Amino acid sequence: MNFEPRSELWAMTASQLRHLVRTKAASRREIVQAHLDRAAARNAAVNAIVEQRAEKALAEADAADRDSGDRSGLPLDGIPVSIKDTFDVTGMRHTEGIRSMAERVSPADAVAVARLRAAGAIVIGKCNQPDFQMRWNTVSDLYGPTRNPRDLSRSVGGSSGGDAAAVATGMAPLGLGADYGGSIRLPAAWCGIYGLRPTPGTIPSVAALPPLDAPPTIDVMASIGPLARSVEDLWTALQVMAGSDPRDPTCCDRPLTERRASRRPRVARMCRETGAHVDPEVEAQLDGTVRILADAGYEVVEAGIPEAERAPEVWAELVHTELLRSALPVWGELMGESGRHHIEQMAALFDLGADVGGFVAAFIERRAIARLTGEWMEEHPLVVAPVAGMTAPPLDYDYLLDRDSTLQLFDRMRSVVWVNALGLPSVALPNGIQIVGRRFREAEIIDAAACVELGLGPVRPAMP
């Protein structure tokens, strides 16, 4: 295994750092300190980490170094992680990016955070997100915008943009995000790293602060997952966090399937079938990705999921009707102007009205498309498609858009949200492409992503 020089511990992946810990080539304190130093040098430029945990992280690293004999089997021993603001971390603020919630402090860890820490990970900070996570851009009314470390004039995407920027910059080798409408995959793609959206119900969603329960679209479309600079790190983090918890009634206890199956599943190349507007440079990356997979022995065909154009529209109708009728009346006034305007403009395009019959009909249609797609994916187990129709846009690309511009934005995001609508797992690649798989078959998409990773080469941290 090849490593960066010792002065660049922050540039290593979690698996590389874990090897150093196991062989006693680096202490946990050295590793944590290197990432804290990296944050001190680079965070001001990108505004990724909004609350640091330096003293406690170093104290935990020191304690782990003293007790190293009891930690030999921990898969994330001494690995620094960043945590999206929306997840509870004991003693840290949980603000949702909202000014009036700026002093709210979590009394305990969310289950996903607790599982990372039980596996040996050390939380170094909380990361920025848009107001209530509801935006494809990370602009918080409380903390301001997060900038893309690959180009500071560009957006990191949203809503897990703070963690994507932190991982891309080398402030942490692992980040924790959530994906309800592309919120892991879009920031990963635009920041040039990897992001995994598992099947909903794989990692339990159990918070320490209210609201403890979610509306129906969250249950079937949202997913918690990791961001990293290597595919292997995504798999390790998934193994650590997966598994049921009695406090999440949607979560299932099922073993992750084995990786590296003897037979390569068929791959469907899917580009504009959803009605998505896709720029030529994104399509060129799609073609490069399928060539890598074909060279690795995958059979690649041109195909699209059933009802491909309706799937993203059904997502938009269900999510935005629910937001407009249920969520905005409760917390809309707490949001900043641009965040609220974004949601109201999108909701105006897709609102099904106050009659519950239309909402129920859309849910039934969603299930029908998911059923048809499930059958179709028995013949096409993997779908390779763009994450978004464009590369990282300017930082203010979604600021106070009018109706027509909002619709144009949605058309560029059609490739993102059909995955959420159907409750499928997906890996975002650093070249802006995603590999989508069958429900509960994360191993298949991880294997395919690992093949692409060999072709793309290692991800290098950004130098903002």
Q: Is there a catalytic annotation at residue 160?
A: no
- Marked catalytic residue, from 106, 160, 183, 415: 183
Q: How far is CA 420 from CA 36, 86, 142, 343, 354, in A?
A: 34, 19, 28, 18, 23
Report d(CA 254, CA 202) in Å as an integer. Answer: 8
Report d(CA 221, CA 179) in Å as an integer. Answer: 8
- Marked catalytic residue, from 106, 140, 159, 160: 159
The answer to whether the CB of 250 falls within 8 A of the CB of 219 is yes
Q: Is there a catalytic annotation at residue 183?
A: yes
Q: How far is CA 239 from CA 22, 82, 119, 236, in A?
A: 19, 18, 10, 5
Q: Hunting for tokens 């793309």 — which residue is that?
A: 456
- Marked catalytic residue, from 15, 84, 155, 160: 84
Neighbouring residues of 260: CB distance < 8 A, sequence distance ≥ 6: 447
Q: Is there a catalytic annotation at residue 100?
A: no
As annotated, the active-site residues are 84, 159, 183
